[in-house]
A and B are shown apart, each in its own frame.
Chain A
């Protein structure tokens, strides 16, 4: 099993550009999440989804949008990238809150 796959692994954007990060899981998990990881800040939740067609805001949602059109995919969009969005982005999925999360390998995004 591939588990959780994130694409791309690396990306450099110019301020104001847009992009979409793709997360795909093959474990039939209902719950999917997008986190960002910054030095000294730990993992912070951006958005999450508790099922196909649903999304909700996490701790730091501003500047991001998400969609969950298919159960296996969770997309994270940046409409107008800012240098403050330079970070490592992790996608994760789980069966529910009482179950361990499976993380993807991360996407390193730099906004210049």
Chain B
């Protein structure tokens, strides 16, 4: 079983604050790293899929970076809004050896108006 860890587990920020959180994964046999946004009472929604070391992805105010050599990815939210409140999941896909996407426990973000 692969170890995919996210930190912090939860985060409270004020509207307008910028924030970031971390996903750590094994630094060997990398294939892909996924980020998902999961709002309460809804299903997870794909944000980014990153496959190359140094990848940077952006979608509106949300961006992500990837370092496969050291085994981490950062998700950044610029100018947080209440509608950004959700749990953010990362998921790691190992090359060849496995056929599973292993999810981290998530970071729960709460943005106060």
Contacts and interface: CB of A to CB of B under 8 A. Distances in A.
Interface of A: 4, 33, 35, 40-45, 48, 50, 56, 58-59, 90, 97-106
Contacts of A43: 44, 89, 91, 103
Contacts of B100: 45, 48, 58-59
A101 B31 contact: no
Contacts of B101: 33, 45, 97, 101
Interface of B: 1, 31-32, 34, 36, 42-49, 51, 89, 91, 93, 99-106
Contacts of A4: 43
Contacts, number: 57
B107 to A, nearest CB: 12
Contacts of A58: 100
A97 B106 contact: no
Nearest to A35: B103
Contact of B105 (A42, A101, A103): A42
A3 to B, nearest CB: 9
A103 B38 CA distance: 10
B46 A102 contact: yes
A33 B43 CA distance: 14
Contacts of A99: 49
Given A59-B102, A106-B43, 7 more contacts: A41-B105, A45-B102, A50-B99, A59-B100, A98-B49, A101-B36, A102-B46
Nearest to A99: B49
